[in-house]
Amino acid sequence: MKSHVNLCKLATKTGGLAPLSPFDFIQDILYTIIMGLTYVNVTIANPNNLKRARKKRLLADSGALYSIVPKEVFKAIGVRPYGTETFTLADGSTIQREVGNAFLQIDGRQAPTPVIFGEKADGSLLGVIALESLGFSIDPRTGKLRPAPLFLM
């Protein structure tokens, strides 16, 4: 079964697992100030074995439904895709990506969430489904995550 969702394709410089250089750190701060981007340190774990985990810096994107993480991260922690979906990008084009489930943790909060297995040109994003599952929203004034109520509706 194929589904079509709106997906923002975004390339970020911090797509790898290496720590940021001082230059990249300063550049990210400037981007955040100028463009309002919010980066978050996330622990990504295998839902079947939470000890198999990696830390990754993701761009929190309130315009993206799904989280995108490089497939190499999922391979390293033993997360396998359960299928392939077709996604519609902001420009109307479509791409196919493998999808699966991962366990995410931010600031002591943790939750399982659907994820997209990103290719090399894809950015690393933390989408709204994960943000809401973890009980966070993005504060537009500060550009930081803030606790948000969980709604049962």
Mean pLDDT computed over 95-104: 98
Q: Print the domain residue range for 71.
A: 6-147
pLDDT in tens, 62-86: 889 999 999 999 999 999 999 999 9
Buried b (16+ CB within 10 A) or exposed e, 55-79: ebbbbbbeebbbbbbbbebbeebeb
pLDDT of residue 62: 85
Q: Is residue 11 part of a domain?
A: yes
Say how many C-beta atoms besides its own lie within 10 A of residue 98's C-beta.
Answer: 17
Task: Return the higher-pLDDT residue of 65 and 89.
Answer: 65
CATH code for the domain in which residue 135 is found: 2.40.70.10
Q: How many domains does the chain have?
A: 1
Q: Output the pTM of the full model.
A: 0.74
**What is d(CA 56, CA 130) in angstroms, rounded to the nearest whole number?**
14
Alpha helices in 92-153 (DSSP H): 128-134
Residue 105's pLDDT band, with cuts at 50, 70 and 90, is very high
**What is d(CA 23, CA 20) in angstroms, rounded to the nearest whole number?**
8
